Amino acid sequence: MNTATTTTISLNEGFFSRRNWFDWVFAAIVAAGGLYALQRYGSYMDVYEKGILLAAIPCTIWLGWFWRPLRVLMLVVVALALVAIGLYQQDGAGSLARAESVFGLKYFLSSQSAILWMSMLFFMSTAFYWMGMFARGEGHTMSLIGSRIAWVAVGMALIGTLVRWYESYLIGSDVGHIPVSNLYEVFVMFCWMTAAFYLYYEQQYGTRALGGFVMLVVSAAVGFLLWYTVVREAHEIQPLVPALKSWWMKLHVPANFIGYGTFALAAMVAFAYLIKQQASETRWYKLAPLWLLGVVLCFEPVVFRQAGGEAGSSYWMVYFGVSALIVAGILFGRKRIAARLPSFEILDDVMYKSIAVGFAFFTIATVLGALWAAEAWGGYWSWDPKETWALIVWLNYAAWLHMRLMKGLRGTVSAWWALVGLVVTTFAFLGVNMFLSGLHSYGTL
């Protein structure tokens, strides 16, 4: 049978006939779990929340079928989250105090423990990816370990998020909410979403050489998260402000952070593109991408050093030193790094697909935000600083996609644009909360 015939048969093969037994077991578990939740907790939901739950069932099944590694991840995460809930309920009445007295909760499965594990594992993953980059031979073993650790880190982040959701209801039924309401919670979401999207592209393109670059931005986010936890005690669960008590939050915020995560991923791929392009450059002023990375990595210490007092200052000085070592390592090892990176065509394609996905979800999030604003404040748009900067981000990436699709934008300009886009996105994500005030000032520093 020739290749053309094989391809035709493959294309004509039915979607459902390609499912294996595990696909159907996964689908049955998801459907049973969703329907049980509806039967058990439906009386506490309004019609919109029931609709979201019912829509989530086929969406989750499709997602697990689309990218099969997610089936195992989701089943393990849900199983361990249920174990954590069971440990909270061992005495017959759930109590948040059990997080400090039960071994499994204190060291592994309480939300704070799981998120701290996530933080350590993302740092370890970053280190192993870079060791793989500089290891003798191909470095496959170290990079593979980095990839596996990243998967576990994503799992711990999701466990921490689900358990935190349950813990909020242990405090009080009027306090309970989906954990996407403040800077601490959304930074956790940003970390695992960015890593998950990277792991998808890693599998699709069969290369782990980009892991060190993408995990740098994840590790930077973890660095902020740890500071925010220690100095601001941001991990404490707080009641929602009135404007956030809406089912719109369950849709708007996750869609937004798919955009933020994929834009960050695209920027780090763009950085790798520029490093590969300038690997043989010896003139220091021509190595602009490295100096820009240094500015970005050192941005957090400069801005936050004074905010946390003496403890915060010490923390950010250590962070500054580690950032400087990373930039120096990339500077002196850029030729070896460039040799390990995939082709320019692959880098360009990952960059494009990441921005395309992010733009689609960011557009959805903006529309959902406008509908939410109309319900909460009586108008779709108010030129609040967060709204204004969201529009700037949207226009930036709309222009990037237009230039690529209509004018064939590729190469250096495309990469620089994507990299600078991260600065714009970071200000919209974090800078607005730091320097500006408005209706969206929920995640203050």
- The per-residue pLDDT for 291 is 64
Where does residue 92 fall: left (phi above 0), alpha (psi -120 to 50 degrees), or beta otherwise?
left
In residues, how long is the chain? 445
Asked whether 192 and 201 are in contact (CB, 8 A), the reply is: no
- 3-class state of residue 384 by DSSP: coil
Distance CA 346, CA 66 (A): 21
Token code pair at residue 201: 């592209």
Alpha-carbon distance values, 77 to 7, 165, 188, 365, 427 (Å): 37, 14, 15, 26, 32
- The per-residue pLDDT for 303 is 56
pTM above threshold 0.75: yes
Distance CA 48, CA 44 (A): 12
Token code pair at residue 344: 């320019």
Asked whether 215 and 292 are in contact (CB, 8 A), the reply is: no
Q: Map 396-432 to HEC letters.
A: HHHHHHHHHHHHCCCHHHHHHHHHHHHHHHHHHHHHH
- The per-residue pLDDT for 13 is 59
Q: Select from 113, 112, 289 the least CA-distant residue to 216.
A: 289
Asked whether 129 and 211 are in contact (CB, 8 A), the reply is: yes
Asked whether 115 and 187 are in contact (CB, 8 A), the reply is: no
Asked whether 125 and 215 are in contact (CB, 8 A), the reply is: yes
Alpha-carbon distance values, 14 to 11, 17, 255 (Å): 8, 5, 31
> What residue spans of 15-139 are helical by DSSP H?
21-41, 47-66, 69-88, 103-104, 111-134
pLDDT tens digits in sequence order for the chain, 445 residues long = 454 444 444 444 567 778 899 999 999 999 999 999 999 888 888 888 899 899 999 999 999 999 999 999 999 999 999 999 999 988 766 688 888 889 999 999 999 999 999 999 999 999 999 999 988 776 689 999 999 999 999 999 999 999 999 999 999 888 888 999 888 999 999 999 999 999 999 999 999 999 999 999 999 899 889 888 887 778 888 888 877 788 888 889 999 999 999 999 999 999 999 889 887 666 666 666 666 666 665 555 555 555 555 555 676 677 777 777 787 788 788 888 999 999 999 999 999 999 999 999 999 999 999 898 888 778 788 888 888 999 999 999 999 999 999 999 998 899 999 998 998 998 888 877 776 665 555 555 5
**DSSP code of 96?**
G
For residue 349, which amino acid is it?
D
Give CB contacts under 8 A, 24+ apart, made by 47-55. Answer: 48/247, 49/247, 49/250, 52/247, 52/250, 52/251
Q: Select from 68, 78, 153, 82 the least CA-distant residue to 116.
A: 153
CA atoms within 13 A on the CB side of 332: 6
**What letters, b where the CB count within 10 A reaches 16 and e where it falls short, cover 379-409?**
eeeeebbbbebbeebbebbeebbeebeeeeb
Query: Residue 286: how many CB atoms within 10 A of its CB?
Result: 10
For residue 12, which amino acid is it?
N
For residue 322, which amino acid is it?
V
